[in-house]
Amino acid sequence: MMKNIKQQIKSGTKEAAEKLKEDKGLDYDKFLKGVMGKSMSVKDTLNMSDSTVEGIYGQAYRLYNNGKYTDAMHLFRLLIMINSTEPKYTMGLAATLHMMKEYKAATEIYNLAGITDPDNPLPFFHSSDCFLQLNDPASAVLMLGMALKRTKGKPQFKMLEDRCKITMEGLKAQITEAVDEAMEGEPGE
């Protein structure tokens, strides 16, 4: 199975490279017009098959699950260049950056994932954890609120909804306590 996927990735890369060679230095104007002017994806412009792209995704997913985050990150970035509207690619990159403790970058990509999949609460929930790691509880509460809005009426997210509520309550209490402590030292009291 793994060998087959590696072969698909190699084949897809080879196809793209040969296409570029055939064109003797790719007509970049034509390429850009295809991608930008006609709203074609890079995948369509380079005639990459769905199975090749899925093979790349499968490899990125395996690398992530095996803790090879740098390698996974490169493949998820490639996948986003191939098709920037596929939510699982942006979630994959965001989760990889999260595991690499690149919290600021992860929040940005989780936000992108929230745009590509606006009904999914998970990007916002995971973004809240990144903000907590960055010691920004106010932003974490905001992200939890956005996640909570997207869990409403979705039984599959009931546990996530409960977790968001509990975490928000705790964070709001911490923020209130910090504000109260800051106010105690104010002049004029």
Give per-residue pLDDT as tens, 23-48: 445 555 555 555 555 666 677 777 78
pLDDT at 32: 54
96 close to 64: Cβ distance less than 8 angstroms: yes
49 close to 16: Cβ distance less than 8 angstroms: no
What are the residue boundaries of the structural domains of the chain, listed by start?
Answer: 1-101, 119-183
pLDDT at 180: 86
28 close to 18: Cβ distance less than 8 angstroms: no
pLDDT at 42: 74
DSSP 101: T
Mean pLDDT for the chain? 85
Give per-residue pLDDT as tens, 162-173: 999 999 999 999
pLDDT at 108: 97
Give the mean model confidence (pLDDT) for residues 61-70. Answer: 98
pLDDT classification of 178: cutoffs 50, 70, 90:
confident
pLDDT at 36: 56
67 pLDDT more than 60: yes
Give per-residue pLDDT as tens, 72-101: 999 999 999 898 899 999 999 999 999 999
End-to-end CA distance of the chain: 71
Instruction: Read off the pTM.
Output: 0.75
More confident residue, 31 or 113: 113
Q: What kind of architecture, by CATH, is found in domain 1-101?
A: Alpha Horseshoe (1.25)
Q: Two tokens at 58?
A: 């499968």
